[in-house]
């Protein structure tokens, strides 16, 4: 889960969980965390100024991810969930190597579930170009079961469609049909939604793939694995936060008002605000000290 030494003596069970994504897609993971471990506090960051990550280079995605982890650690989080498949594919190794708190990505949990669910040994993965190009789902699934064949399909238009709110739109239906036809022809029986944005168009994907194909949502499996990890390390919060505890906090790098509208349609929590952060203030590594940014920069980020 992490390659760095974790100092469990300083981790508190009542500390928040950090979660980040390139945009709104990671809210599908937040939704599952709230369902499965409702007492937890959550700090969420959506990199809405730089979405999508799927068309960017490994170095760029890693740099963005390190900035975000550095920001989240200012809240003394007890763990961080990388709720972005592209960041999990490109940046996870670097994040785990340098972090001193547990880190969880979304790729491994989804891969495990798909390897267990397939009946005919044909698993499809739809994801960003970066995630498909990395081959990470194929690697993880075949490490679990070499008899499974993995078929990847990049769907680069899905993230912009979701970010624009076109979840149930004829345009989305048509594009999805074009993307998925070859996977249908291959006769896959399991399809991994390999981007956390994709569960938001699940009904469209299910309609096109048909009842015979199992859709694997890594968000659910990631939340389950997170719960198991917290229990195993005695970090699960067992006491519900009190009134005024600010249990869920949301930060973005741009377009906070638009994010709030999306967030309320996804998690149904009644989110009143999201604060905007200048991520360039958090450049320079993720070692947890004040390092490359000043206290005024933290205050400005926290105040929006």
User: Which amino acids are annotated as binding site for substrate, given as ranges?
Assistant: 21-22, 53-54, 85-86, 196-197
Phi, psi of 291 (to 5 degrees): 40, -115
Enter the DSSP assignment of 288.
S
What is the C-alpha to C-alpha distance for residues 21 and 44, in angstroms, rounded to an integer? 8
Q: Which residues contact 112 (CB under 8 A, 6 or more apart)?
A: 140, 144, 221
- Give me the half-sphere count of Cα atoms (radius 13 Å) on the Cβ side of residue 222: 33
Cis upstream peptide for 52 (omega within 30°): yes
84 is catalytic: yes
The number of residues making up the chain comes to: 304
Enter the DSSP assignment of 272.
-
Residue 187: both structure tokens together: 């006769």
Task: Say if residues 43 and 268 touch (Cβ distance below 8 Å).
Answer: no
State the catalytic residue, choosing from 37, 195, 235, 256: 195
Q: Give the CA dihedral 77, 235, 25, 44, nearest 10 degrees.
A: -30
State the catalytic residue, choosing from 29, 84, 94, 166: 84
What is the C-alpha to C-alpha distance for residues 132 and 153, in angstroms, rounded to an integer? 7
Task: Say if residues 176 and 109 touch (Cβ distance below 8 Å).
Answer: no
155 is catalytic: no
Distances (CA, A) of 140 to 24, 107, 265: 26, 8, 33
Residues noted as catalytic = 84, 195
């Amino acid at each position: 889960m992490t390659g760095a030494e974790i100092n469990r003596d300083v981790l508190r069970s009542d500390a928040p969980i950090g979660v980040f994504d390139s945009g709104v897609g990671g809210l599908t993971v937040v939704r599952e965390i709230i369902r499965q471990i409702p007492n937890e506090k959550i700090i969420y960051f959506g990199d809405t100024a730089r979405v999508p990550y799927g068309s960017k280079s490994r170095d760029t995605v890693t740099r963005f991810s390190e900035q975000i982890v550095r920001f989240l650690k200012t809240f003394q989080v007890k763990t961080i969930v990388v709720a972005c498949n592209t960041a999990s594919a490109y940046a996870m190794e670097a994040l785990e190597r340098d972090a001193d708190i547990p880190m969880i990505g979304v790729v491994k949990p989804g891969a495990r579930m798909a390897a267990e669910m397939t009946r005919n040994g044909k698993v499809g993965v739809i994801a960003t170009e970066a995630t498909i190009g990395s081959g990470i789902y194929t690697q993880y699934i075949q490490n679990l079961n070499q008899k499974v064949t993995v078929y990847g399909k990049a769907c680069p238009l899905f993230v912009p469609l979701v970010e624009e709110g076109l979840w149930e739109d004829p345009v989305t239906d048509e594009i999805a049909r074009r993307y998925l036809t070859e996977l249908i022809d291959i006769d896959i029986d399991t399809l991994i939604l390999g981007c956390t944005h994709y569960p938001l168009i699940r009904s469209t994907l299910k309609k096109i793939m048909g009842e015979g194909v199992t859709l694997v949502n890594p968000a659910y499996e990631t939340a389950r694995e997170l719960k198991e990890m917290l229990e195993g390390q005695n970090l699960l919060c067992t006491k519900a936060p009190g009134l005024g505890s600010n249990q869920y906090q949301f930060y973005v790098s741009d377009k906070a008002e638009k994010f709030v509208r999306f967030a309320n349609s996804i998690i149904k929590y009644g989110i009143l605000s999201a604060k905007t952060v200048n991520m360039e203030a958090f450049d320079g590594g993720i070692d947890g000290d004040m390092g490359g940014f000043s206290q005024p920069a933290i205050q400005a980020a926290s105040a929006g």
